């Protein structure tokens, strides 16, 4: 019971060529998909760089604005401190003079 298998070589080659063509098509498709992914990654990278630059600009602008406002507040607080020191000094001098007038009523200043 030996069976002989007869196959035409042309049929085998035809089938192999068909399979190779299918594999080449799949490889081409995957190559195109990979290229599309690379393009999308490049676009995302550009967008991230753009966002990073915008964020840096906004941060610098905010920092400059806050520094200006804080320096203005510092000047105002310095002025208020001077005013309060002057008022406190005047009150202390007035209290000393009032105490001197009370303790020494006959003395003229």
- Phi first, then psi: give them for residue 4, nearest 5 degrees: -105, 135
Alpha carbons 109 and 97: distance in angstroms, whole number: 9
Q: Label residues 5-18 b or e (16+ Cβ within 10 Å = b).
A: eeeeeeeeeeeeee
User: How confident is the model over 59-70, as pLDDT tens digits?
Assistant: 999 999 888 888
User: How confident is the model over 4-42, as pLDDT tens digits?
Assistant: 666 788 888 889 999 999 999 999 999 999 999 999 999
Where is 14: in which H helix or E strand? helix 9-103
């Amino acid at each position: 019971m030996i069976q002989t298998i007869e196959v035409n070589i042309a049929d085998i080659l035809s089938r192999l060529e068909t399979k190779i063509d299918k594999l080449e098509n799949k490889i081409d498709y995957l190559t195109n998909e990979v290229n599309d992914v690379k393009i999308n990654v490049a676009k995302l990278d550009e967008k991230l760089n753009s966002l990073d630059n915008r964020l840096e600009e906004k941060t610098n602008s905010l920092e400059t604005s806050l520094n200006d406002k804080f320096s203005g507040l510092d000047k105002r607080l310095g002025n208020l401190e001077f005013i309060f020191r002057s008022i406190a000094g005047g009150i202390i001098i007035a209290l000393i003079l009032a105490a001197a007038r009370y303790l020494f009523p006959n003395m003229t200043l």
